[in-house]
Structure 1
Amino acid sequence: MRARALLAGATLLTLSCGQVAISTVHSPYPSASSSRVAGASPGAGPSPQAPHYGLLLSAGTLEVIRPDGGVAASATVAAPSFQSCGQGVGAVLQPPVSATSDEVFFRDGDTHIRYLSPDGRTGDATTVPGGATTISFFSVSPDDQRIAVVVEDMSAASAIGLRLYVEDLHGRGHHVDIYRASVPEGKGATTLWPMGWRQGRLVMAVWAACTFEQVPYPQEWHVVDAATGARQATIGNVGCVPSIWPSAAGVACVDSTQARIYDWTGKLKAMVATQVGQAELSPSGQRLAAAGSGGMGDPSPATTAFSVDGSSSVTTPGHMACLWIDEDHLLAPDAVITLPSGAATPLDASGVCAGRFPGGL
């Protein structure tokens, strides 16, 4: 039976899916080694003078959320055909949204990739594979020239076919398949989400492909050559929970005692003592945000934002932020949190976080 569920708070769209050993047709490339460097350095991203927005999927509508909590633009988004890994196990699906320097692209239904501008303009961009047994995840390059697409094919009885290709956004020229894998259906299977571009390279998140329960965060982050598929960096592992959303400065991963901040070359930039379960890195790399409940006996949601150097910290009760809009604003499924005060502005409608605009890393 095809089933679909919305994961609370941070991220995900899950559908109905089953043990997993990845059988690669294109073998994964060696990862870069990590090295320790003192201090976190700002990453190269959009101009700080450019308007920044959060992206939210709410009841079939993509909303571009201003830092003051208002809606700058919106577009209707049709749901894809239901997908299943079989045996009542849900398929974990990437939010169908990708922001570039000037547009927000989204998958409308199974195959249509459309765009939404912050001023409200919409239009068609391209198409991707999709249908009753196929789903595509995608990311458009910051200059709107290229699109990376991961195709999950669930037509086989006991396996999921994975294919990653890159081509021109307009006209589909310069098409290249850079990765293929066959994943046995099951709870242990992993898939890839193309989550952004960094200096011409793809930033990929490794997620569970199928699950019986909610999947709150990725397993690893990979940086991949967009022409060859060669992996150039790996961040995170089972002992260090990585951030859900990428930052221009890199990504954080959290173990039981500290948050480790890595840049997109895989180099360790800083370590921050903390006992949070998971943290999101700000665009500059100077702040972290951790959301969660109050713990045993205190299930109330809260978000704590704190500086990497330990100079400041503020906790906002009642809201669980999922990503940074800019250096001074956090998006939660139901509010925008403003720093340094920690004040929360409720949204008119709650939803699922789907990224930030502009989207370059």
Structure 2
Amino acid sequence: MSTKYFQRFEKLYYKFGDETNYSLIQNLTQYVDIIDQVKPQKSFYEDYMIKSGDRPDTLSLQLYGDTNYYWTFYLMNDHLRESGWPLKNEEVLERAKGFYPHRVLTTTADIATAEGGYDFKVGRQIVGQQSGTVGTIVKRNLDLGQLIVDTATTFVVENRDVVLDVNSNGATTLTLDDEQEKFHQTDLWVLEKQDLDNPSSDPVILGSYSITLESLDSRAKIINIPFEAGNFEYTFKIRVAKYNRRDATFTQGEQVFFRDDSTGLVVFARIHKETAQYNAVHHYENVDGEWIDIDPFTETIPSSLNPVTNMERLTAKNNDLKQIKILKKDAVESVVKEFYKLMSNR
């Protein structure tokens, strides 16, 4: 895209941070209000709806026969300056998934004020009793009874004892066949050697070995094990991170729970709705488009209220960005010339 717009900005010397020398830069704070003066005047502008796929430069070429007037769209429309150019229709879903990547669980349980502080607070790791899905609460929307849960990066750690088949070179390999599992925290692994001819003796903890993880942490190559010929058994106490299955969803109607480590208390909450965050309800509106509060402790929502999802809200905002004011073709050249003149004379 052309940068002719910035050619009229004055240049000044500026010293960045701890730099000892000054740099010659453009003064991007420089501004004249000529377009602010003309944009309320109907004789200078007309309304336009940006089409999916339009770019500022191509639209400028289409309307004015020149790509260099693209910047007028931004100065004529505050919402474009604040939020940027609208997305293509097919890009809205991907943007929504990026903005709202988690799962949303809706419950009528009191998730905020459970007795003894055992509430479903942000940072808690919860488990689906039926699905087995694990997740970390990253946000709560108490007005709607929603838990926003990260299931993509959450895992549980399992401790396992693995008997090794060590060769005379002191080397062996461990492999995880479950794609949901990865070796974890190898610095906390402990290698023990047990004398099978004297099984009542305490195992000897070994050191000086080296672990290398490969294949996305699903294979562990272990070398320099202090191997000793004889009737010995080598056992590794390892840690494995178990991640969710690929879809990483909970089951609608199931109980989710967490266990308090200090007391062992298990706290449950039944979820009556489960969905991707981008498809979750953001708020409810009445027929006049006013936001209306609901009772989060009941599953019954008045039929007069319309749920608005995160995706619908983002789509509506993107559509609003498409509605702009443009300088009329017979006015654009004179307005731009005056803008450049005033910028040069400052």
TM over 0.5: no
Bigger relative contact order, structure 1 or 2 (CA pairs below 8 A, ≥6 apart):
2
- When Rg is computed on C-alpha atoms for both structures, the one with the higher figure is 2
TM-score in terms of structure 2 length: 0.18
TM-score in terms of structure 1 length: 0.18
Larger proportion of strand: 1
Larger proportion of helix: 2
